[in-house]
Chains A and B, each alone.
Chain A
């Protein structure tokens, strides 16, 4: 065995052996290289489509271009909500470099593959913190800015820019420009912000937009709102958000791995939001607002022929411009703590007992349901007692109005007549009839947040109380007291429905929309149902009663409309703010108390032959409906006549110049100084009559 192992090397044999091994090795190597080629052909041929797509997705990113928000105009084309260029501070998180001489950028730290991701994240947060504290010395930031920024930071990709502060002042822009080199990844970027030239005048109608916050991002369609910074928060800005917002466009950009744009491949322009045209004329709105002289209350005017809202004010109001780019804490607490609640839209959300203003509607119900004939009379003695009960109900006038028929009962607002009528109708029929006029439910106006008020009924009481319905409750329901609660809008809606001969229309603030470069298109507003009045004569009777209120001797509002060019029909309402049982009501003779102890209502419409405007005014605290709320209605009607080019009343025309928000520094020229530049398109506006305002002027269907 050992002998076979020669100690001398067999050189020739070795060479041969090597040759074999080298060949085998080479074959193995070729096989190995073939394995590689097979793997590459698998990736490059078989899975080519998949990887080609992924490579394309890597490279090409869509970038949203936010649409310009639709503008809002008044009836004649006066701008109520405008887009104005402004500048904001934006931060691209991943480009933020560390302060205090830390040399590495955030992205570099993050890209170390073996680096602990936790530490790099902490590093990023630290960098962001140091940047924020450093930038605060250049551009003042409040905590709200920082909070909103941090919230958005979490939701965005690291290469998407996040707004840090909106609406920079010129001074801030200049100061940042000088220090810009210190803040990589931070830049001043132009954008469009919202401006409300009329400020407080339309705050409760137009509303305002606000910066999109974390709750909004959860609610909004992320695709439609990519790149958009503001969303409608209240008023029409909110309820017409869909129409105003528009559709974002996008551009396809080639990005590198850091998301930095290399070039734009293609652009798809955004579709701007549609413009809105309101039925309100800025002059009418202004007149209505000024008529309140700052006293809390609200007024609503509606065109009975189509439901268009012609004026809607809630006093006091607020400046919506403060909310657009984030309201300061001081301003906000100021509004929130103010005793007269300027942020509350009284026309829409505050419900009060309507008082005697419900009487014409009840009378109409009596006729329609066959409970009363116009000539039926009731003796008013100053007190109405239910047979067999102790409790009695009073008339306004001691001794009563004597024998009254329906017309006279409306004219004099005779309680006894309506106590009896309510009793004869019964609560069920009463509630049913009044409900058909829109009380106790939403009117369907194109605003969000309407209050429903309270329509007294057995059903309503059953949900609130364990007691059954009492007959006495029916009686006081007949004069708009007791459980009754209505909003000014509801009452205006009911008044307009009546004035329009019973045809109900949902109130509409917006009468037309206008896509960019197109003519305005009227928004259809078909009647919500058939006319509520089956016998036209019934309407004549109640109309006669309401005319008597204003025009006949003894009418509760006689004298309020002296010299008015058209016939006005109306009804006052005076609801008690405080219980009559309190001693104050009778004993407190303080004049301030007397002037404020009621809620003063007045409803009216004109021209009475063919009504074209129905107005409701409500003062939260007034002495009497007719004398306090009546003049407000008159001023609204006068302004409306003036705005439609009708005859201006010869006398009693104080402040006919409804200048735009006199106190507003940002307000534009007064509309009547600069002839209103009504867009040519506006000739196509519905229900617009710039010509002779004949009372029989045909309205919209």
Chain B
């Protein structure tokens, strides 16, 4: 019995390895990005081989996850979607109930052997759920559907924002909103919705935590508190600005090597990259991100059904949100929120959840329309 199972599993693995059903350009882009990430991490961590090794291992595991998930046909994924979504919302509720508090926020669920952040799940299950909901509906969506989607987005996003984890809440709601956008929601509806959200900002400000408000205020005038809350912003801008056109060269960024730059392997790793590779490096990396996102959207356009299309498009576009929010934060344009630079920042959870999303994309690609 066990032998049979083992044999089946090995056959499956062999099939995955020998005949990968992946999109080569996207895989190539991701591979390149991972290499850039590892190189930057090597410099930012001061050649810390344990960190490099850990990150590389996660990339390899993530890559295998991509191969595995690419074997799951989209219809299967679609049938799992409500259950996955419901499970992740339940986990979020459990976090709210008896989550672990770490440095002032309640994001973690301790499962005994390991602890993880259920909010990471939502980054994928949220666009899946919206795509699942819109899949059978008539598109462009009507107000009723839009409101339904709004509720689907609002409940988990609210729970996450309450933890408080504004960055993830933003990413999760953006992923859902992109699915709605791609479904063809009428422009005037988008406009009025945005106007409504704009009107809500003062109310939202009221509900923000003090530290979150401070982050926004500090952004507006970082020099007002140069050693306290403005430190991140100032040092990050110094790192970026001192890089100049061509950068200080790999492993020659003084801001990170001498620890002036806080969190220079995680949220602020892009500052290290900018310092060492300059504007030229930044533009190249932006082009690489644009290529990856473009390829995602290309795969979405080729997808067989509404669910796949919306899901692939939403995953691709939310990738942009990572880049924009992190890049803007590093450049002192946006407040400091915990959004990593995708596949460059050090950290397991985000790399794995991102690569899972790309696994879904590969699966959609593999099951694209036969004629094109």
- Could you tell me which A residues sit within 8 Å of B by CB distance? 5-7, 9-11, 14-15, 17-22, 25-26, 29-30, 32-33, 35-37, 39-41, 43-45, 47-48, 50-52, 54-56, 58-59, 111-114, 117, 254-258, 262
**B104 adjacent to chain A (CB < 8 Å):** yes
**Chain B, 158-193, contact with A by CB distance < 8 Å: what is the 0/1 string?**
000000000000000000001001111000000000
Check B320–A39 contact: CB distance below 8 A.
no
Q: Which residues of B contact A257 (CB under 8 A)?
A: 258-260
Check A33–B238 contact: CB distance below 8 A.
no
Q: Which residues of A contact B258 (CB under 8 A)?
A: 58-59, 254-257, 262
Q: Which residues of A contact B317 (CB under 8 A)?
A: 25, 29
Check B228–A40 contact: CB distance below 8 A.
no
Q: Which residues of A contact B222 (CB under 8 A)?
A: none
Check A7–B240 contact: CB distance below 8 A.
no
Q: Which residues of B contact A254 (CB under 8 A)?
A: 254, 258
What are 16 inter-chain pairs, A to B, with CB distance below 8 A?
A18-B313, A20-B184, A25-B181, A29-B317, A36-B282, A43-B241, A44-B279, A51-B237, A54-B238, A55-B242, A56-B242, A58-B235, A58-B258, A59-B255, A114-B104, A257-B259
Check A26–B139 contact: CB distance below 8 A.
no
B window 213-250: CB within 8 A of A: 228-229, 231-232, 235, 237-245
Closest Cβ of chain A to B239, distance in Å, is 7
Q: Which residues of B contact A40 (CB under 8 A)?
A: 240, 274, 279, 282, 327, 331
Closest Cβ of chain B to A6, distance in Å, is 7
B window 301-330: CB within 8 A of A: 301, 306, 309-310, 313, 317, 320, 323-324, 327-328
Closest Cβ of chain A to B258, distance in Å, is 4
**B73 adjacent to chain A (CB < 8 Å):** no
* Separation of A33 and B327 alpha carbons in the complex (Å): 9
Partner of A45, one of B137, B244, B310: B244
12 additional contacts (CB under 8 A) given A36-B331, A55-B255, A114-B211: A21-B181, A33-B286, A36-B282, A36-B324, A36-B327, A44-B241, A44-B274, A48-B241, A55-B238, A113-B228, A256-B259, A257-B259
Closest-by-CB residue of A relative to B235 is A58
User: 3 closest Cβ contacts across the A-B interface?
Assistant: A51-B241, A55-B242, A17-B184
Closest-by-CB residue of A relative to B246 is A44
B window 253-279: CB within 8 A of A: 254-255, 257-260, 262, 274, 278-279
Q: A58-B255, A58-B258, A111-B262 are in contact. Are A25 and B242 (CB under 8 A)?
A: no
Check A52–B255 contact: CB distance below 8 A.
no
* Separation of A38 and B118 alpha carbons in the complex (Å): 36
* Separation of A111 and B262 alpha carbons in the complex (Å): 9
Check B182–A18 contact: CB distance below 8 A.
yes
**B29 adjacent to chain A (CB < 8 Å):** no
Q: A22-B182, A41-B279, A113-B262 are in contact. Are A55 and B244 (CB under 8 A)?
A: no
Partner of B294, one of A26, A35, A52: A26
Q: Which residues of B contact A52 (CB under 8 A)?
A: 241-242, 244
Q: Which of B181, B278, B279 has the most chain A CB atoms inside 10 A of its CB?
A: B279
Q: Which of A7, A17, A40 has the most chain B CB atoms inside 10 A of its CB?
A: A40
Closest Cβ of chain B to A84, distance in Å, is 38
Partner of A54, one of B139, B232, B242: B242
* Separation of A44 and B283 alpha carbons in the complex (Å): 12
Closest Cβ of chain B to A620, distance in Å, is 60
Check A17–B139 contact: CB distance below 8 A.
yes
Check A32–B293 contact: CB distance below 8 A.
no
Check A33–B241 contact: CB distance below 8 A.
no
Check B260–A58 contact: CB distance below 8 A.
yes
Q: Which of A10, A32, A47, A56 has the most chain B CB atoms inside 10 A of its CB?
A: A32
* Separation of A58 and B229 alpha carbons in the complex (Å): 18
**B297 adjacent to chain A (CB < 8 Å):** yes
Q: Which residues of B contact A258 (CB under 8 A)?
A: 259
**B56 adjacent to chain A (CB < 8 Å):** no
Query: For chain A, what secondary structure do more than half of its interface residues adopt (helix, strand, loop), or is it mixed?
Result: helix
Check A51–B238 contact: CB distance below 8 A.
yes
Q: Which residues of B contact A15 (CB under 8 A)?
A: 301, 309
Check B242–A5 contact: CB distance below 8 A.
no
**B154 adjacent to chain A (CB < 8 Å):** no
Check A19–B178 contact: CB distance below 8 A.
no
Q: A40-B274, A44-B243, A58-B258 are in contact. Are A32 and B324 (CB under 8 A)?
A: yes
* Separation of A117 and B239 alpha carbons in the complex (Å): 25
Closest-by-CB residue of A relative to B257 is A256
Partner of A21, one of B138, B184, B232, B239: B184
Closest Cβ of chain B to A385, distance in Å, is 85
Closest-by-CB residue of B relative to A6 is B138
Closest Cβ of chain B to A255, distance in Å, is 7
Q: Which residues of B contact A25 (CB under 8 A)?
A: 178, 181-182, 297, 313, 317
**B133 adjacent to chain A (CB < 8 Å):** no
* Separation of A7 and B138 alpha carbons in the complex (Å): 7
Q: Which residues of B contact A32 (CB under 8 A)?
A: 320, 324
Q: Which residues of B contact A5 (CB under 8 A)?
A: 138
Check A117–B228 contact: CB distance below 8 A.
yes
**B140 adjacent to chain A (CB < 8 Å):** yes
Closest Cβ of chain B to A659, distance in Å, is 59
Check B241–A58 contact: CB distance below 8 A.
no
Check A29–B290 contact: CB distance below 8 A.
yes
**B300 adjacent to chain A (CB < 8 Å):** yes
Check A58–B313 contact: CB distance below 8 A.
no
**B289 adjacent to chain A (CB < 8 Å):** yes
* Separation of A221 and B269 alpha carbons in the complex (Å): 42
Closest-by-CB residue of B relative to A21 is B182
* Separation of A22 and B310 alpha carbons in the complex (Å): 10
Q: Which residues of A contact B235 (CB under 8 A)?
A: 58
* Separation of A254 and B252 alpha carbons in the complex (Å): 13
Q: Which of B136, B240, B245, B262 has the most chain A CB atoms inside 10 A of its CB?
A: B240
Closest Cβ of chain A to B274, distance in Å, is 6
Q: Which of A35, A43, A51, A117 has the most chain B CB atoms inside 10 A of its CB?
A: A43
* Separation of A5 and B141 alpha carbons in the complex (Å): 11
Check A37–B293 contact: CB distance below 8 A.
no
Check A22–B300 contact: CB distance below 8 A.
yes
Check A48–B293 contact: CB distance below 8 A.
no
**B370 adjacent to chain A (CB < 8 Å):** no
Q: Which residues of A contact B137 (CB under 8 A)?
A: 9
**B87 adjacent to chain A (CB < 8 Å):** no
Q: Which residues of A contact B96 (CB under 8 A)?
A: none
Q: Which residues of A contact B313 (CB under 8 A)?
A: 18, 21-22, 25
Closest-by-CB residue of A relative to B263 is A113
Check B184–A14 contact: CB distance below 8 A.
yes
Closest Cβ of chain A to B291, distance in Å, is 11
Closest-by-CB residue of A relative to B300 is A22
**B333 adjacent to chain A (CB < 8 Å):** yes
* Separation of A58 and B274 alpha carbons in the complex (Å): 17
Check B286–A36 contact: CB distance below 8 A.
yes
Closest Cβ of chain A to B206, distance in Å, is 20
Closest Cβ of chain A to B241, distance in Å, is 3
Check B333–A48 contact: CB distance below 8 A.
no
Q: A21-B182, A44-B245, A114-B103 are in contact. Are A39 and B290 (CB under 8 A)?
A: no
* Separation of A114 and B336 alpha carbons in the complex (Å): 12
* Separation of A77 and B52 alpha carbons in the complex (Å): 67
Partner of A9, one of B139, B182, B240: B139
Q: Which residues of A contact B243 (CB under 8 A)?
A: 44, 48
Check B237–A43 contact: CB distance below 8 A.
yes
Closest Cβ of chain B to A652, distance in Å, is 76
Partner of B242, one of A29, A48, A117: A48
Closest Cβ of chain B to A662, distance in Å, is 59
Q: Which residues of B contact A10 (CB under 8 A)?
A: 138
* Separation of A295 and B303 alpha carbons in the complex (Å): 113
Q: Which of A29, A47, A258 has the most chain B CB atoms inside 10 A of its CB?
A: A29
Check B182–A44 contact: CB distance below 8 A.
no
Partner of A51, one of B184, B242, B323: B242
Q: Which of A10, A11, A22, A59 has the most chain B CB atoms inside 10 A of its CB?
A: A22
